[in-house]
Structure 1
Amino acid sequence: MQVLLINPPLSTACPTGGVYPMGMGYIGAMLKKAQCGVDVFDIRLNKYDKLFVADFLKKNQGKYGLFGISGMVTAYNYGKWVSQEIKKYNPGAVIVAGGSICTAGELLLRNSEIDIICIGEGEKVIVDIVEAIRFNKDFITIPNILIKRDGDITYTKKETPIDINSVPFPAWELFDMGQYTNTPYIVPVDTPSITMITERGCPFECSFCYRNFGRKLRHRDTKSVIEEIKTVIDRFGIGHIDFLDEIFNVNPKQVIDLCENIIREDIKVTWRCIGRTDFVDRDVLQLMYEAGCRWIGYGIESGSQKMLDRMNKRQKIGDIENSIKLSREAGMIVTGTFIIGMPEETEETIQESRDFLRRNKIFNIPFFPVPYPGTILYDECKEKGIIGNDESYVASLEKDATELIINLTEIPDSRLIELRNSLSDEFKEFIPSMKLAMKEDKAILKNVLNRVTSKIKEITAKRT
């Protein structure tokens, strides 16, 4: 069976981006293991317009029996359009959607040509779908999916999350990896870089966040991670890794084991991770630095304790500030995400965030909150009537979160935008501390400053 995996743009409003679709690499590896022919059509990377995409599907009419579409919920409109184009030229093909776009799964099934929605991880599901097509089995027997049945939406039985150690390395050979490794994900480094994971899952319940991999933490074997690091260094000359674990430092023993193995194997690579400040330990941070960690990002979200509690962050301002201090003492550059405009946000709480940023000199571009389907915040907004028609609302989620999509505060729209933009402007004030933190690496410093300047110009241009 021939399968086409499609990586759509983030949305019809944001068509570009060169980030390696790691999840698609895992799906591709599982399909190859199941003896399928697999091609990847990366619309997002190549900036293909709709005319090109439609022409590609027409030229390849009848070639593929299974199409996989993966993406964020911001690609909802694009997913609807591309599924219609697929069926136009391949009416007998099966279309399955995966990724966080599936938080709007019922809407997609009712309003698009997509046949199957994957709930959660797709590595096992995609193989089950292939087997069902090959042997003419009913899709209803496949766990963890949504399907259309007699005009209704049917949820099949749930199964426990997969053993992530059973999943092979991503099928890098399906991609022109040079186009991805030479495009830094977050950290502006002068060396080929790649994304990787060491675990899946997050046990916390922040109100604005959707947990695609569930709450149960599952770790990869350290030996497997080390082998993957060595492989990408040998194959692609990788010098930097962005670990995309939701909370890299949640299990200190796991972190220590990985770092000790990197040091023991004398692996020369820098890396970045995302952590929670309440799992920070001075000795572990120092070990991480010795193993190559140069950047660490924390989901800080607010400098107001009131707002942290409102978000169900389960963190204290004092602990966050201490963790930032310890991380910097270990030699790391600290970044943080911030959200401005959650329910009950006021000008006073925004000022608390401003004061926090000034005290701690965190490099950030604050975002507005977006109640995405599948989050506590979305359910709250539905209950209060803030979100009305689901389809209309989800179809509106194409903007970048630096733009105001929905105002959840009592602050007027124009004033809230002004406050958020003024926080972004203060980003410039932290460049001197960035210079100090990076004084030993002039190449990284140059790239960071260029990116900061570029982003500031972009923000300014949007307002003029």
Structure 2
Amino acid sequence: MRILLVRPQYRGLYKLIKANAKKNLVVPPLGLLYVAAMLEKSGEQVEIIDGEIESFTIRELALEAVKRKPDLIGVGATSVDFHLAKIFAEEIKKCSDITVILGGPHATVLPDKVLQENSCFDFLVRGEGEVTSVELVRVLKNSGKAGLKSVLGISYKMGRDIIHNPDRPLFNFQKDCVWPARHLLKLNKYMFPSPKKGMRQMTVVQATRGCPFGCIYCYKMFGHVVRQRSISDVLAELKYVVRDLGCERVSFVDDTFTLDSSRVIELCEGIVKEKLKFGWICLARADTINTAMVKAMKAAGCDMISMGVESGNDAILKAIGKGENRADFVNAFSILHNEGMTARASFILGLPGEARETIEETIRFSQELRVDRAFFNICTPYPKTLLWDIAENGQALSFVDREFEYFTRWGNSVIELPGISAVDLKAYQRKAMIDFYCRPKIIFKHLTEFLSGNAASYYYRPLLFAIREKLKDVFSRIKSR
């Protein structure tokens, strides 16, 4: 069976900091790559079109998809970009009868709504898609709709009825994981800023799946159970992407890469032993950071660690189920600073229980921490999270907009709090960016990086945004005198 997997262009979603399409960081669509690899392993013919890389409009993407004459088209979507997948599928159905399958978080959390309101999707794949996609294709090829009941993890319409087959158990990531089908992409188009080098070819690697923590704003697509690939398999994949594919940067997309310190150190020692030369970044939690691990990570090429701080107020941190406090963050970022590791922090403004004072406390805290780069998100509830339930019930915060395409966290707010409007939250986000980046030490650090060889304009977007907005304020005050 000829199968085409697609990702629609998404660059227009995020409004606060506009991206230059030709200089944008584009991360490979890892979910599609894993599904493609499993389908190829089962004997199917697979292609991928990345609309973001190709700069296709949605209509252009649909025309290109139909032109390739696939038997089946698969597309994934989060809640934020679901409308793009929907428009794409509608365009496909206007000019063909090709079967269209939707996977990803949105199809997983709202299958009834998706099928009730959108006739353009023939099937939904809920949860992890690797095994479900293989079984669905096999049934469609051999049995047609008669065999659909045997496929776990799918939803579909039968006449007017919506059918939800039982959930599929979590994928055996340790045993059955195949490497992503990177050969289906134009690999040299995927770039990431590298210290002293600028934009360099990159890829993404996933060493574990699952997150054991209980933050109220997060939907756990991969569940709470952490599944770890063997160190030997991860190292073999790293050797392949660095030596055979020529990637100079890797982004580890594990929810918490540093969860198991001894495992991280073992992996880093393996990277050093194999003499693999590449830069890499990862996500971490403050309460997992220790000096020995950070030293090993730096020796293995890690040059930036990103942590979600969310709030500078301990009561808010406790209320959102973060399981960490201010002292944890102070300690963790101090370790990173002392070891010469670039530190990135993300924050959320407008969490349940927030007042203007706590938002301002978070903005101040971002400047007190030894952090090199910071990003400030507006609190945004997503379906099937505790935060969504709180907003639905009007507890502590409430919705002002329910159109998912506006759930971007950047440059827009879909919620308000008592005494704090959506407009206020957007203003706080802008203020946080200006206050953090327009400090002499942050400007100096970025200038030093530029002079050392990192001329990637993408990397400096937050700084340039902050300076531009700061100058607007200065000129506005001068003009008003």
Fold conserved (TM > 0.5)? yes
Task: Give the deviation of 1:101 after TM superposition.
Answer: 2.7
SS in structure 2 of the partner of residue 192 of structure 1: strand
Amino acid at match of 2:91: E
Aligned to 1:310: 319
2:468 & 2:443 partners in 1: Cα distance?
A: 20
Aligned to 1:365: 375
Aligned to 1:356: 365
Alignment of 1:243 onto 2:252: yes
1:440 & 1:11 partners in 2: Cα distance?
A: 26
Aligned to 1:90: 96
Per the alignment, do residues 394 and 229 of structure 1 end up closer, same or farther by CA in structure 2, a change over 3 Å counting?
same
Alignment map for 1:191-206 (pairs within 5 Å)? 191-206=200-215
Aligned to 1:295: 304
Per the alignment, do residues 226 and 304 of structure 1 end up closer, same or farther by CA in structure 2, a change over 3 Å counting?
same
Alignment of 1:46 onto 2:54: yes
Q: What per-residue deviation string (whole Å, max 9, x for no partner) do you get for residues 363-384 of structure 1?
A: 2121101111121111222233
SS in structure 1 of the partner of residue 315 of structure 2: helix
Task: Give the deviation of 1:3 after TM superposition.
Answer: 0.6
Aligned to 1:8: 8
Amino acid at match of 1:100: P
Alignment map for 1:120-199 (pairs within 5 Å)? 120-136=127-143, 137-165=146-174, 166-180=176-190, 182-184=191-193, 189-199=198-208
1:185 & 1:139 partners in 2: Cα distance?
A: 47
Q: What per-residue deviation string (whole Å, max 9, x for no partner) do you get for residues 269-290 of structure 1?
A: 2211100011112211111111
| Percent identity of paired positions between Structure 1 and Structure 2 | 25
Alignment of 1:105 onto 2:115: no
SS in structure 1 of the partner of residue 406 of structure 2: coil
Does the 8 Å CA contact 2:157/2:163 hold for their aligned counterparts? yes
Aligned to 1:29: 37
Task: Give the deviation of 1:87 after TM superposition.
Answer: 2.4
Does the 8 Å CA contact 2:204/2:252 hold for their aligned counterparts? yes
Does the 8 Å CA contact 1:343/1:409 hold for their aligned counterparts? no
Does the 8 Å CA contact 2:254/2:282 hold for their aligned counterparts? yes
2:12 & 2:201 partners in 1: Cα distance?
A: 29
Does the 8 Å CA contact 1:327/1:333 hold for their aligned counterparts? yes
Task: Give the deviation of 1:105 after TM superposition.
Answer: 2.6
Per the alignment, do residues 58 and 355 of structure 1 end up closer, same or farther by CA in structure 2, a change over 3 Å counting?
closer
Task: Give the deviation of 1:296 after TM superposition.
Answer: 0.5
SS in structure 1 of the partner of residue 392 of structure 2: helix
SS in structure 2 of the partner of residue 24 of structure 1: helix
2:92 & 2:277 partners in 1: Cα distance?
A: 45
Gaps of 5+ in 1: none
Q: Normalization by structure 2: what TM-score? A: 0.87
Does the 8 Å CA contact 2:212/2:226 hold for their aligned counterparts? yes
Q: Normalization by structure 1: what TM-score? A: 0.90
2:281 & 2:240 partners in 1: Cα distance?
A: 18
Amino acid at match of 2:64: F
2:399 & 2:378 partners in 1: Cα distance?
A: 20
Amino acid at match of 1:7: R
**93-102 or 399-408: bigger deviation:** 399-408
Does the 8 Å CA contact 2:378/2:409 hold for their aligned counterparts? no
Aligned to 2:441: 432
**68-77 or 125-134: bigger deviation:** 68-77
Per the alignment, do residues 225 and 455 of structure 1 end up closer, same or farther by CA in structure 2, a change over 3 Å counting?
farther
Aligned to 2:390: 380
SS in structure 1 of the partner of residue 416 of structure 2: coil
SS in structure 2 of the partner of residue 365 of structure 1: strand
2:302 & 2:11 partners in 1: Cα distance?
A: 32
Amino acid at match of 1:64: P
SS in structure 2 of the partner of residue 230 of structure 1: helix
Gaps of 5+ in 2: 477-481
**40-49 or 346-355: bigger deviation:** 40-49
SS in structure 1 of the partner of residue 225 of structure 2: coil
1:19 & 1:186 partners in 2: Cα distance?
A: 18
